[in-house]
Amino acid sequence: MIRRVGARPIVRVVYDAEALDLRVRELGAEITAAYPSGDLLLVGLLKGSFMFLADLVRRIERPMQVDFLRASSYGAGKESSGEVELLYDPETPLQNKHVLLVEDIIDSGRTLNRLLTVLRSRAPASLSVCALLDKQLAEPLPETRFVGFKAPTAFLVGYGLDHAEDFRHLPFIAEVG
């Protein structure tokens, strides 16, 4: 078991690899059932969702397309700056598609609110959110349809989540000190 990553200690493992795998399988089945027909486009929010998205698409048992977008509101800090900057936009047209925005973690909700506004303006057939983690700090959004886990308010890393670009490689989600 990894006890430190660089100089930062892991306080505790919040979700181990087995729990993540099980929940992603369940989410894949839920998404498969929720979208029996129509064009489905999963839009992964980079960089944090990449591991979750990769595992999730292998568990959804229907045709789909995948694209990405990238936004930033953290920089090198541990708290959102409140400013959301779009760094990369999906190339796939969203019009008349069922769009599922795949997010690593819902924290303040600022980034997600900004992105949903942008995506809604592109006339998808439907727009929903699948988040691996929800800290339940933000006002609930009706688009949040699939949630892996209710997360503690601690600073979490691993399974794609980072702190200043470190810790993404961990196969589990942990709280760091």
User: From the candidates 39, 55, 104, 107, which is the catalytic residue?
Assistant: 107
User: Burial level of 30, CB count in 10 A (0-12/13-18/19+)?
Assistant: middle
Distance between CA atoms of residues 34 and 143, nearest Å: 14
Sign of the Cα pseudo-torsion (17, 21, 23, 24, in order): positive
Q: Is the pLDDT of residue 88 over 60?
A: yes
39 catalytic residue (yes or no): no
Distance between CA atoms of residues 156 and 175, nearest Å: 5
pTM: 0.88
Question: Domain spans of the chain?
Answer: 4-176
Q: pLDDT tens for residues 55-82?
A: 999 999 999 999 999 887 655 545 555 5
Distance between CA atoms of residues 98 and 35, nearest Å: 8
115 versus 124: the higher-pLDDT residue is 124
Q: What topology does CATH give the domain 4-176?
A: Rossmann fold (3.40.50)
